[in-house]
Amino acid sequence: KNEVEQSPQNLTAQEGEFITINCSYSVGISALHWLQQHPGGGIVSLFMLSSGKKKHGRLIATINIQEKHSSLHITASHPRDSAVYICAVRSSREYGNKLVFGAGTILRVKS
Amino acid sequence: DTAVSQTPKYLVTQMGNDKSIKCEQNLGHDTMYWYKQDSKKFLKIMFSYNNKELIINETVPNRFSPKSPDKAHLNLHINSLELGDSAVYFCASSLGGARVGTQYFGPGTRLLVL
């Protein structure tokens, strides 16, 4: 069992739909990261958060520390949002200072 | 200007060869990382350096040796390449220590061992 679980593994949406990707983890963490990997392979960091909620454009990330759960929301989805979205956690106590990654969620937005 | 750059982007080589991948960052970060992404797209940390000092050294074969000549560079040398080394290798950088922050990734080096 992976220490960081993402769901769903695959997601197909119609353009304009509201999308939610979930991430659950099993240890106390100091920070959680959401990353986006483009079809071309490049990786971009979207958010780093340790509490509450962050918003950037059409992307919103939330985290519930007590429930050990985070969600990434995409509003008004667009085909250019098609990518792999990866959740990663940092726990200095459990993992030293390294990031531990989820397996990723493959998102495809159809026009 | 590219923030984190890697060379080469593609590397095709024979089993048994020795190869190096170079990484440079111009963000003024003090911490750099090497990650391996396998065929299932799963990312895993290999090494991390903070101010040229090795701080994370995961269970990777001794054939992999990182070298950090200065804070802006982290190179990865691989000896006696094996088929299983085929993967995409990503370099990344961040601020470290108590200020561990967002990681910035290089474009990746696609290694294929034949």
In whole angstroms, what is the distance from residue A103 CA to residue A4 CA?
A: 8
The continuous run of DSSP H or E covering A95 comes out as helix A92-95
Q: Span B6-12, mean pLDDT?
A: 96
Q: Is A86 helix (H, G, I), strand (E, B) or coil?
A: strand
pLDDT in tens, chain A (111 residues): 678 999 999 999 999 999 999 999 998 888 999 999 998 889 999 999 999 999 999 999 999 999 999 999 999 999 999 999 999 998 876 666 788 999 999 999 999
Q: Of the candidates A42, A90, A101, which has its C-beta nearest B43's C-beta?
A: A101
What residues of chain A, 36 to 95, have a C-beta less than 8 Å from chain B? 37, 41-45, 48, 84, 86, 88, 90
Residue B21 has pLDDT above 80, yes or no: yes
Distance from CA of B104 to the nearest CA of A (A): 7
pLDDT in tens, B38-94: 988 889 999 988 888 888 888 788 999 999 999 999 999 999 999 999 999 999 999
Once rounded to an integer, what is the mean pLDDT over residues B5-14? 96
Distances (CA, A) of A5 to A39, A43, A57, B78, B91: 22, 19, 25, 31, 24
Q: How far is CA A101 from CA A34, B26, B69, B80, B107, in A?
A: 10, 25, 28, 28, 18
User: A86–B58: do the CB atoms touch at under 8 Å?
Assistant: no
Q: What's the CA gap between A63 and A71, in Å, rounded?
A: 7
Q: Is B107–A88 a contact, with Cβ atoms under 8 angstroms apart?
A: no
For residue B99, pLDDT beyond 70: no
Structure tokens at A37: 């990997």
Joined together, the tokens standing for residue A66 give 């007590």
- Which residue of A6, A46, A98, A101 is the best one to mutate when testing the B interface, meaning the one whose CB has the most B CBs within 10 A? A98
Chain centre to alpha carbon of residue A48: 10
Q: How many pairs of residues across A and B have Cβ atoms under 8 Å apart?
A: 49
Residues found in chain A: 111
- How far is Cα A84 from Cα A102, in angstroms, rounded to an integer? 11
Distance CA A96, CA A91 (A): 7
Strands A105-110 and A10-14: parallel
The minimal CB distance from B41 to the residues A45, A98, A104 is found for A104
| Rg (alpha carbons) of chain B, rounded to whole number | 13
Whether residues A42 and B108 touch (CB distance < 8 A) is answered with: yes
pLDDT at B40: 83
The pairs formed by A45-51 with CB atoms below 8 angstroms and a separation of 24 or more are: A45/B102, A45/B103, A45/B104, A45/B105, A46/A72, A46/A85, A47/A72, A48/B101, A48/B102
Inter-chain CB proximity A33 and B103 less than 8 Å: yes
Q: Is the pLDDT of residue B98 over 60?
A: no
